[in-house]
Structure 1
Amino acid sequence: MSTSSAAVQRTGVALALLAVTQFVLVLDASIMNVALPSIQRGLDFPQDDLSWVSNAYTLAFGGFLLLGGRSADLFGPRRLFVFGMVLFTVASLLGGLAQTPFWLVAARAAQGLGAALVSPAALALLMIIFPAGPGRNKALGVFAAMSGVGGAAGAILGGVLTEWIGWQAVLFVNVPVGLAAVLLAPSLLPGVRAVAQSRSTDLAGAITVTLGLGLLVYTVINANTVGWASANTLLLGGLSIVLLAGFFVVETKAAEPLIPLRIFRQPMLRGANITAIALTAASFPYFFFLTLYMQQVLGFSPMQSGLGQLPVAVALAVTANLTAKVVARIGFRNTLALGLLVIGAGQFWFAALRAPGEGGGFLIDVLGPSVLTGVGSGLAFVGVIIAATALAPPEEAGLASGLINTTQQIGGAVGLAVLVAVATSGTNAAVADGRTGPGEAIVDGFSVALLTAGGVAVVGAVLALLLLKMPTAPAAPAHEPAAATDAADENQEGRSAR
């Protein structure tokens, strides 16, 4: 085998390792949902506290992502990748052995912390392995595809493992994957040195942003239980805003800030992160409403509803792998905007869903919207990752990765909480109007929420076109002068990616 062939094979195996790792991290955000009833019975979990099995992971994952991204720059992405995977694997093992509700929730929080360290490190390693251009775009397509498939596969795998083995299996399944990743990482992933000039960790910045983001996500999630206008929501929401404002004050005074505020002067990165909030707010809740519609309205079993998500997963995976060719033709800004418009079309279509007594069913109400949403997501998620990382210098690659991951997590959490509140309001209004037939009120609530999601997707497309404008004379990063030069405008970026 020639040296070049061996190098190509090595990068392919490294990409497979990073993609499978990302798949598992995203999978764990959804795999527990189907297992919750079994967990409740097995651990005598109080009904009111059961949501913390999922929320503990989401809060830790979203809250610590920025710290994980900056740590990748400070200590080296491979080192952080291995450390985070060890933490994630041990936490998964302990979670499967849990004997009490608190034990399980603590293990899930530790899993989320491990995931927050691994995810930005994995994306930073991908950008190091693949130089800017068509190779990186294809790799990002694979990475994004595994992220999307992980969300859909969680429902399928969770149903199968819970039904055949038990709820513990949804945690134990992470252990062999995590061990394999830890053992393979030293030989497959580049051992680049830490590129940040200082090992200062900006502890004050890390504490304020982590607490602020974590409290914000918790407030939004909890608002559906205690009420959006309740004193609890207003107090905690206000406190989260104070903490986040304090974080920006800390960053202006820190010698080595967690997030150098100059990074927000980059219009491409700033626009990509703003658009990413709209993207995930519109697309992430789709899986939630799809699962509930199939189980609560169509009467599907957990396993059947999981299998019912295959169309969106397959469409997303196939499209994401082909998106590099679309980017080469029309540029990543137009690719992202197109993806958001297709997502919006899928949400508007799904909003026409009906109860079984009104002729509703999987083939008519689910299949078509799922394919559209999957295709749009494949285009949009690859486009937004390219936009967010295209001009990142090597010393800020982990930070750029952590930022885009954070905005996606926050956008998804906030979007889901808001749309659930919209759906609940729509359902209550339907009941008040006398629509109390099987599934009718629920369907009415879902329809209003999905129309809202479609509108958010359209707004996101407009934001992409307005905000993602390449600088006319960008400074060329030292490691990739050609990449910055090629990115001078959308047309030139499209030609260089071919």
Structure 2
Amino acid sequence: MIILDVTVMNVALPRIRDDLGFSATGLSWVMNSYTLVFGGLLLLGGRAGDLLGRRRLLIAGVTLFTVASLAGGFADTPATLVAARIAQGLGAAMAGPSTLALLTTTFTEPRARMRALALFSGMASAGFAIGLIAGGLLTEWLSWRSVLFINVPIGALISVLAMRYIHEPERHPARLDLLGAATGSAGAAALVYGFIRAASDGWRDGYTVGSLVAGSVLLGTFVLVEARTAQPLLPLRLFADRNRAAAYLNFFLGPMAGMSMFFFLTQYLQDVHGYRALSTGFAFLPMALILFGTTRLIPVLLPRFGPKPMAVSGALLMTTGVALLTRLGVDTGYAAGLLPSMLLMGVGMGLAFAPLNVVIMTSVPPADAGAAGGVLQTMQQAGATLGLAILVTVFGAASRDAAAAGAAPDHVLLAGMTDAFTASALIAATAVLVALSFRREHGADGGTEPA
């Protein structure tokens, strides 16, 4: 539900603009307000779950997310909808890390835990594509408001079942690192805002530069605070293990490369091939299905091969899939041109990134599970946001050059997409290099031991 809400609104944006009277620039905040709060507060949400109770924070976060979805569905002004999206982001930041930590502490037997974490990864990864499908279905059959209302029964069911079936794990009484919370959350939010601003206003914009500089300084301060705090918000020992550190880095690089497929192919299918919103969503269904199917094999493959061969082969497949997209043309068909890339990306992402959940979450002590989950989701969110900002900048420069040369609108779009997919392939290739740094080890836990 949390990941799906990142993309489910994309398809509904034109209807929202017409109904509520958003300006062209203001419309972007329907997406950015959620991303900004969600990405900026994940670290705090993860550590708060460790200290205050993960079950409690999960239920509180899901309840807030559900109420905010209901309020957003009834919004009659742009400000009301953006406020509801901010509240959704806060609820998601509370519930997301606690979800991952609860899976880790609930399933104590290694193989059962691996299956649970692999299923979690498959649901989260498939959520991006399913969001496009669900958004298209609900927007075309009902209205854009139903995209928010659908969260209400799901969220209510989660809360009821969580209260009945989920047991609160052992809490670790401690003081919340308030200085770390302030500097870390503000720094992450400033960086996310800077990336968002770069995508819309360019890297030379004063607010872009100021936000990125402020975010970097705040995060530098945050690291110094964490190194000297007895009970840190982010235990730096999480990065002491080589496999875990490499997994975190690839959780940053993977979404950077993968976001290009969703963002640019959606435009390509609609603007060049004339797909409707619903047809565009279903075009991504094969990739979602094969990605989910691949993650179901992780509990079998990971103990046998370890993280290194899977991460390397997955990143290579992902790089190949993105590289093939650089050959798209105006007349490229779906079956011959797009489908092979989508299938390669689906298998590649499943092999490369589903094991990373297991590598990270099975090698941390239970007291740090919430913090570890918060860092994981922060890396994923920041990678997606930064990747989109970089790729949109590359796209804009190439498309402007093509337009200045007198190219037709379709060719202008393709020129920008080709350069963006080239940059995306280079990012994916970097993930291959990081994957090569994994230790070649075997074991039921994916080849890692606690640092």
Measured against the shorter chain, the TM-score band is: over 0.9
Residue by residue over 1:106-152, the C-alpha shift from the partner in whole angstroms, topping out at 9 and shown as x without a partner, is: 11011011111111111111111223533222222211111122110
CA distance, structure 1, for counterparts of residue 147 and residue 28 of structure 2 = 16
Residue in 2 aligned with 1:439? 410
Residue by residue over 1:155-198, the C-alpha shift from the partner in whole angstroms, topping out at 9 and shown as x without a partner, is: 1111111112111111010000000111110222122121x241
CA distance, structure 2, for counterparts of residue 444 and residue 179 of structure 1 = 46
Query: Normalising by the residue count of structure 2, what TM-score does the alignment of the two structures yield?
Result: 0.95
Residue in 2 aligned with 1:347? 322
CA distance, structure 1, for counterparts of residue 447 and residue 35 of structure 2 = 38
CA distance, structure 2, for counterparts of residue 232 and residue 123 of structure 1 = 34
Residue by residue over 1:312-355, the C-alpha shift from the partner in whole angstroms, topping out at 9 and shown as x without a partner, is: 11111111111222212211222122111111111011121111
Given residue 93 of structure 2, which amino acid in structure 1 is its aligned partner? A
CA contact (8 A) 2:6 2:128 kept: yes
Residue in 2 aligned with 1:293? 268
- Backbone CA RMSD of aligned residues: 1.7
Given residue 313 of structure 2, which amino acid in structure 1 is its aligned partner? L
How far the C-alpha of 1:399 sits from its partner, in A, is 0.9
Residue in 2 aligned with 1:256? 231
Given residue 251 of structure 1, which amino acid in structure 2 is its aligned partner? E
Given residue 436 of structure 2, which amino acid in structure 1 is its aligned partner? L
Given residue 412 of structure 2, which amino acid in structure 1 is its aligned partner? A
**Superposition pairs of residues 261-276 of structure 1, within 5 angstroms:** 261-276=236-251
Would you say 1:166 and 2:143 are equivalent positions?
yes
Residue by residue over 1:351-401, the C-alpha shift from the partner in whole angstroms, topping out at 9 and shown as x without a partner, is: 21111xxx3121122111011101111112212112222310010011111
Would you say 1:423 and 2:395 are equivalent positions?
yes
How far the C-alpha of 1:415 sits from its partner, in A, is 0.6
* Residue number among 75, 92, 98 corresponding to 1:121 in the alignment: 98
**Superposition pairs of residues 99-248 of structure 1, within 5 angstroms:** 99-131=76-108, 133-194=110-171, 196-198=172-174, 200-248=175-223
User: Secondary structure of the residue that 1:439 maps to in structure 2?
Assistant: helix
State the identity %.
Answer: 40
User: Secondary structure of the residue that 2:18 maps to in structure 1?
Assistant: helix
Residue by residue over 1:53-109, the C-alpha shift from the partner in whole angstroms, topping out at 9 and shown as x without a partner, is: 001111111111111111111122111111111111111111111121111111101
CA distance, structure 1, for counterparts of residue 339 and residue 237 of structure 2 = 45
Structure 1 residues 401 and 83, CA gap change in structure 2 (3 angstroms): same
Residue in 2 aligned with 1:59? 36
CA contact (8 A) 1:333 1:383 kept: no
Given residue 262 of structure 1, which amino acid in structure 2 is its aligned partner? R
Would you say 1:318 and 2:293 are equivalent positions?
yes
User: Secondary structure of the residue that 1:25 maps to in structure 2?
Assistant: coil
CA distance, structure 2, for counterparts of residue 328 and residue 267 of structure 1 = 18
CA distance, structure 1, for counterparts of residue 408 and residue 235 of structure 2 = 56
Residue in 2 aligned with 1:376? 348
Residue by residue over 1:240-287, the C-alpha shift from the partner in whole angstroms, topping out at 9 and shown as x without a partner, is: 111111212322343422112333323232221112111111112311
Residue in 2 aligned with 1:480? none
CA distance, structure 2, for counterparts of residue 236 and residue 160 of structure 1 = 37
Given residue 233 of structure 1, which amino acid in structure 2 is its aligned partner? T
CA contact (8 A) 1:75 1:193 kept: no
* Residue number among 453, 463, 466 corresponding to 2:434 in the alignment: 463
CA distance, structure 1, for counterparts of residue 422 and residue 18 of structure 2 = 36
Query: Normalising by the residue count of structure 1, what TM-score does the alignment of the two structures yield?
Result: 0.87
Residue in 2 aligned with 1:305? 280
Structure 1 residues 492 and 260, CA gap change in structure 2 (3 angstroms): closer
Structure 1 residues 228 and 132, CA gap change in structure 2 (3 angstroms): farther
CA contact (8 A) 2:248 2:376 kept: yes
CA distance, structure 1, for counterparts of residue 405 and residue 300 of structure 2 = 50
* Residue number among 404, 409, 423 corresponding to 1:452 in the alignment: 423
Q: Which has the higher contact order (CA 8 A, sep 6+)?
A: 2
User: Secondary structure of the residue that 2:291 maps to in structure 1?
Assistant: helix
**Superposition pairs of residues 30-45 of structure 1, within 5 angstroms:** 30-45=7-22
How far the C-alpha of 1:438 sits from its partner, in A, is 4.6
Given residue 413 of structure 1, which amino acid in structure 2 is its aligned partner? T
Would you say 1:412 and 2:384 are equivalent positions?
yes
Would you say 1:73 and 2:44 are equivalent positions?
no
Residue in 1 aligned with 2:442? 491
CA contact (8 A) 1:156 1:306 kept: yes
CA distance, structure 1, for counterparts of residue 248 and residue 310 of structure 2 = 16
Unmatched runs of 5 consecutive residues or more in structure 2: none
CA distance, structure 2, for counterparts of residue 463 and residue 160 of structure 1 = 39
How far the C-alpha of 1:225 sits from its partner, in A, is 2.4
Given residue 136 of structure 2, which amino acid in structure 1 is its aligned partner? G
CA contact (8 A) 1:332 1:386 kept: no
CA contact (8 A) 1:285 1:412 kept: no
Residue in 2 aligned with 1:400? 372
Structure 1 residues 495 and 327, CA gap change in structure 2 (3 angstroms): closer
Structure 1 residues 496 and 439, CA gap change in structure 2 (3 angstroms): closer
Structure 1 residues 32 and 494, CA gap change in structure 2 (3 angstroms): closer
CA contact (8 A) 2:70 2:149 kept: yes
Given residue 208 of structure 1, which amino acid in structure 2 is its aligned partner? T
CA distance, structure 1, for counterparts of residue 198 and residue 256 of structure 2 = 16
Structure 1 residues 145 and 492, CA gap change in structure 2 (3 angstroms): closer
CA distance, structure 2, for counterparts of residue 263 and residue 310 of structure 1 = 35
How far the C-alpha of 1:495 sits from its partner, in A, is 8.9
CA contact (8 A) 1:346 1:372 kept: yes
CA contact (8 A) 2:303 2:443 kept: no
Residue in 2 aligned with 1:473? none
Residue in 1 aligned with 2:255? 280
